[in-house]
Amino acid sequence: MNVKLVKQSGSTLDIVNAARISFGKQIESMNDKDWKLIQYLWTHKHTSPFRHIHFTFHIRAPIFILRQWMKHQVGCSWNEISGRYVEFEHSFYHPQKWRSKPDKSVKQGSGQELDDETQSDCSTIYQNTIDSLFDTYKHLLTIGLCKEQARMILPTSLMSECYWTCSFQALIHFLKQRTDPHAQKEIAEYAWTIVNLLNEDEDMKRLMKICGFNS
Amino acid sequence: MNVKLVKQSGSTLDIVNAARISFGKQIESMNDKDWKLIQYLWTHKHTSPFRHIHFTFHIRAPIFILRQWMKHQVGCSWNEISGRYVEFEHSFYHPQKWRSKPDKSVKQGSGQELDDETQSDCSTIYQNTIDSLFDTYKHLLTIGLCKEQARMILPTSLMSECYWTCSFQALIHFLKQRTDPHAQKEIAEYAWTIVNLLNEDEDMKRLMKICGFNS
Amino acid sequence: MNVKLVKQSGSTLDIVNAARISFGKQIESMNDKDWKLIQYLWTHKHTSPFRHIHFTFHIRAPIFILRQWMKHQVGCSWNEISGRYVEFEHSFYHPQKWRSKPDKSVKQGSGQELDDETQSDCSTIYQNTIDSLFDTYKHLLTIGLCKEQARMILPTSLMSECYWTCSFQALIHFLKQRTDPHAQKEIAEYAWTIVNLLNEDEDMKRLMKICGFNS
Amino acid sequence: MNVKLVKQSGSTLDIVNAARISFGKQIESMNDKDWKLIQYLWTHKHTSPFRHIHFTFHIRAPIFILRQWMKHQVGCSWNEISGRYVEFEHSFYHPQKWRSKPDKSVKQGSGQELDDETQSDCSTIYQNTIDSLFDTYKHLLTIGLCKEQARMILPTSLMSECYWTCSFQALIHFLKQRTDPHAQKEIAEYAWTIVNLLNEDEDMKRLMKICGFNS
């Protein structure tokens, strides 16, 4: 599993209590009226109450995905493994399928899956390139080069590791953008993994549905 | 009690695990080496691992204090009672002591406590003013004025209510600034109340000491 | 004039160049294609290019309005006059019209303008209250009380002064929320003043139209 | 030149006016008293006035440097070239010197420059690896693979391009951290380039000196 939920702080009760403070009121357990309030807040973009819940994830993902992910910063905290300290292991991302260029009318992204033969060619080329690069990385270290310079040749498919803490609002912003059909498939898979992780909790599942995630 | 700790998310273990991800390592319980790491991180201003713990407080404080408090926004989420929805109750802040002007060389803040007679004068004037203002507020509502305009005459000593969620780093930044001798005494009392609340937990107490709060 | 545009940094050209960097391209002057790009970016909520333009305003507004305004913090910088340093002058906000309570079905805000007689009553009560409060403030200073405590009795209609720097994205977020029919009329007037200030520049006027402000 | 100053918004006058608003005062030109105020603000960490000046840079830098740089987000806006849209050119970062591992007592970073023979070996290996990788990238595109997947094999020494807007406070925070002796030499060179760019302006040069940059 490449995404682990380290901790969740708070529940929908905290959203409701943060919102009801506007009226000088607090509650101790959720009822239907409170769920309606959450629905109302979300629909009308009163997002501030959704910033009182936080989630911490331990993520293993390749650099090219983390570069998209870490653009999400408002309401987020990040820590990451450092190639200046650590000698990297032979651990690289493998896409499930290789995709073609998109239609000429589209400037960005990718099209259909490539045919079986090209799939196979891509996989072979990819694997050989990765293996050879990792050998070169190890060789550069052997002849005395420092890690922080040797890592320069490693590809963005290198697996990295992060601690990510984010508010519920920041999380939903990330999930919306990265489960969008225009997002790169590779990061969309991570986003859906997180949606599924949250849905394991009944309270969160109901909240996620309000936010438009039917899983 | 004017400050209530609603929830704490995470412990020093999360700080250490956020930091150790740099080396690709994780731990399951704290030992002396981990406490030394926290000391090192704090001393060398490696503050990012301190952003993975969050605290939520329910605060009752007057507007003039909240105006200083809410300037702290990085890493913070706020929700507050609204005078557009709610008719305020007769609830105002009373300072414990009235203070004189500061020495001429000082431009800001306040000096010693005033003598007993002036204390008494100030209290009487203050109480009468507050009472009379509140009567006027109620009267304006009675003759049909909307709450959002009637509240314009209420003083900044009016008690308000907030939900505040902040990262540990943001919390310490607030506590440092507002327990400083240059801070206004009224907000310093709130800051020390929070220091004492955190110190009730042994793990936090040890962490607060590293951050320079001996309570 | 209660809002002054101190400086504007950048123009629509910067939005386009920030966006075109995605394609590794830059331009030197705007043409129709670039305006279409801005329209596309705005419609599809690609907001990051709009964060490379900044505006600085000098604002004079009452505390109850600034309290709503300063909740806008992401992408904003604030500095404000301090009642700990400065002895306040007799300067208070006067609403143009006094409004009734909203309909019973509505929990927030205000309804129609009150009838002429009540208008007049409210104005008289308001003016007397303000004048009397200011006299009390001055009296408290005279008997030796420090400014930071004396100001506690001043109402939230006291005029304050701010320096506000914000990105274009943050500015539009503020303007959208505070020109909304649910916003309090008093802050909506400030928001429209800013819309009009921006519209004095032809480039900004065209941009504001794209963002939904037809002035 | 790999860093270009696109625009500077504001001058030290804006810092002073943002600060003097605390006293309800404004100035029209700088004198010695104002420079002393800036010195005082900086020394006492009253940083908010420094957030009313902004700078925009156009940066060309390799991914491994940008990954460190883009961790700076508070007070910053970023846009970057996208490998989902653009086919990358053969443009990679070349370090001036290759460095050895650090002493055993040090966990991070690098030591002395390697001897001439190893320098030469590293350069040859590096150049061959880069060239071969770029050929593979082009080949993958030729057999029909989409750009967003083909780029996965490109190394973090690939040159990228950014638009970066930041407040003066955020800029100084970046410059302090990345000109520190513990920073990686490659990013330190970029940081010093920016220090030198700012120093071309007399007003900024004097400000930078106050902030501890004697160039």
ipTM given for this complex:
0.93
Same domain, B74 and B7: yes
Residue A179 has pLDDT above 90, yes or no: yes
Overall average pLDDT of the C74-97 stretch: 93
Q: Same domain for C121 and C61?
A: no
Put simply, whether C195 touches D (Cβ < 8 Å) is no
User: Is B30 in the same domain as B74?
Assistant: yes
Asked if A152 lies within 8 A of D85 by C-beta distance, the reply is no
Domain termination residue (choose one: C156, C173, C201):
C156
Q: Looking at beta carbons, which residues of chain B come within 8 Å of D173?
A: none
What's the whole-number mean pLDDT along residues D150-160?
A: 97
Subunits next to D (3 or more Cβ pairs <8 Å) are: A, B, C
Q: Are D139 and D87 in contact (CB under 8 A)?
A: no
Question: Are the Cβ atoms of B153 and C147 closer than 8 angstroms?
Answer: no
Query: Which residues of D carry out catalysis?
Result: 178
What's the pLDDT tens digit per position in D22-73?
988 899 999 999 999 999 999 999 999 999 999 999 999 999 999 999 988 8
**Residues B209, B213, B214: CA angle, nearest 5 degrees:** 75
Taking residue D33's Cβ as centre, other Cβ atoms within 10 Å add up to: 9
Q: For residue B43, is it within any domain? A: yes
**Same-domain status, B148 and B200:** no
Each residue of C141-176: pLDDT tens digit?
999 999 999 999 999 999 999 999 999 999 999 999
Is D60 within a domain?
A: yes
The reply to whether A136 falls in a domain is yes
Catalytic positions of A, written as ranges? 178
| Mean pLDDT on C58-71 | 95
Residue C89 lies in a domain: no
Question: Which among B70, B98, B145 has CB closest to C145?
Answer: B98
> Residues B169, B174, B179, CA angle at the centre, nearest 5°?
130
CATH number, domain of D200, equals: 3.30.1360.170
> Is residue D34 classed as helix, strand or coil in its secondary structure?
helix
**Best mutation target, D4, D165, D169, to test chain C (most C CBs within 10 A):** D165
Q: Is residue B215 part of a domain?
A: no
**A113-124 average pLDDT score:** 96
What's the pLDDT score for residue D3? 97
Q: Is the pLDDT of residue B43 over 70?
A: yes
What's this model's pTM, rounded to 2 decimal places? 0.94
Tens of pLDDT, residues D76-122: 999 999 999 999 999 999 999 999 999 887 777 899 999 999 999 99
Residue-wise pLDDT for C191-203, tens only, equals: 999 999 999 999 9
Q: How far apart are CA B114 and CA B12, in angstroms?
A: 44
The answer on pLDDT for B1 being more than 80 is no
Same domain (yes/no): B164, B150? no
> Residue D215's pLDDT band (boundaries 50, 70, 90)?
low
Specify whether A10 is located in the same domain as A60: yes
**What confidence tens digit (pLDDT) does each residue in B48-83 have?**
999 999 999 999 999 999 999 998 888 899 999 999
Contact of A74 with chain C, judged by CB distance below 8 Å, is answered with yes
Confidence of residue B109 (pLDDT cuts 50, 70, 90): confident
Residue D214, pLDDT > 80, answer: no
Asked whether D58 and D163 are in contact (CB, 8 A), the reply is: yes
Looking at the structure, do residues C75 and C172 belong to the same domain, yes or no?
yes
Q: How large a percentage of chain A has pLDDT more than 90?
A: 89
pLDDT for A37 equals: 96
User: Mean pLDDT across the stretch A178-192?
Assistant: 95
Same domain, A167 and A72: yes
Residues A73 and A130 in one domain: no
* Residue B69 sits in the same domain as residue B170: yes
Q: What is the enclosing helix (H) or strand (E) of A7?
A: strand A3-9
A168 within domain boundaries: yes
Identify the band that residue A108 occupies on the pLDDT scale cut at 50, 70 and 90: confident
The DSSP output letter for B165 is: E
Report, as an integer, the average pLDDT of D142-163.
Answer: 97
Position of tokens 């690098």?
D110
| Domain assignment of residue A66, given as a range | 3-80+160-210
- C6, C20, C22, C168: which to substitute to probe chain D, counting the most D Cβ within 10 Å? C22
In chain B, what residues touch D74 (CB-CB under 8 Å)?
Answer: 74
Active-site residue B99, yes or no?
no
Residue B110 lies in a domain: yes
**B133-153 pLDDT, tens per residue?**
999 999 999 999 999 999 999
Task: Report the domain count for chain B.
Answer: 2
**Whether residue B116 sits in one domain with residue B137:** yes
Task: Please spell the DSSP secondary structure of B162-182, one letter per residue.
Answer: EEEEEEHHHHHHHHHHHSSTT
Test the B interface: residue of C129, C152, C161 with most B CBs within 10 Å: C152
Residues 113-142 of D with CB under 8 A from C: none
Q: Is B14 on the interface with A (CB under 8 A)?
A: yes
Examine residue D135 and state whether it is found in any structural domain, yes or no.
no
* A120 vs A113: CA distance, rounded Å: 12
Instruction: Give residue-wise pLDDT tens across range B169-196.
Output: 999 999 999 999 999 999 999 999 999 9
Same domain, yes or no: B13 and B59: yes
Does B77 lie at the interface with C, CB-CB under 8 angstroms?
no
Report the chain A residue with the minimal C-alpha distance to residue C182.
A44
A147 and chain B in contact, CB less than 8 A: no
Q: What average pLDDT does the structure give for chain D?
A: 94
C91-142 tens-digit pLDDT: 999 999 999 999 887 777 899 999 999 999 999 999 999 999 999 999 999 9
- pLDDT over 90 at A39, yes or no: yes
- Confidence at residue C215, expressed as pLDDT on a 0 to 100 scale: 61
